[in-house]
Amino acid sequence: MDAKTITGITQQIYRQFPEVAGEAPSVKAQAGAKSPGDSPTYLITFKGRVSQGGGPTFSRTVRVVANDEGRVLKVTTSR
């Protein structure tokens, strides 16, 4: 996956999840996984911290599965 594609996906995720904005994502190719159209898929992981108005902070992990063309296939998040 090229840097331009990763940057486009990253900007989309930063708009949807501002708590991970500014964090560099981790990109890993998924072995054996194919998206519709036979493009290889990649797992892109973002990690960040969220505070709740003076309350406790918790970590947020956003996992994105995208194909080689930059199409986001799945987004999951944890608290």
Question: Using one digit for the tens of pLDDT, what is the confidence trace for 31-73?
Answer: 776 666 677 899 999 999 887 777 888 899 999 999 988 999 9
| Count of CA atoms in the C-beta half-sphere (13 A) of 9 | 29
Burial 33-67 (b: 16+ CB within 10 A, else e): eebeeeeebbbbebbbeeeeeeeeeeebebbbbbb
Domain assignment of residue 32, given as a range? 3-78
Answer yes or no: is pLDDT of 7 > 80.
yes
Model pTM score = 0.85
The number of distinct structural domains making up the chain is: 1
Given a contact cutoff of 8 angstroms between Cβ atoms, the answer to whether 59 and 33 are in contact is no
Q: By three-state DSSP, how is residue 13 classified?
A: helix
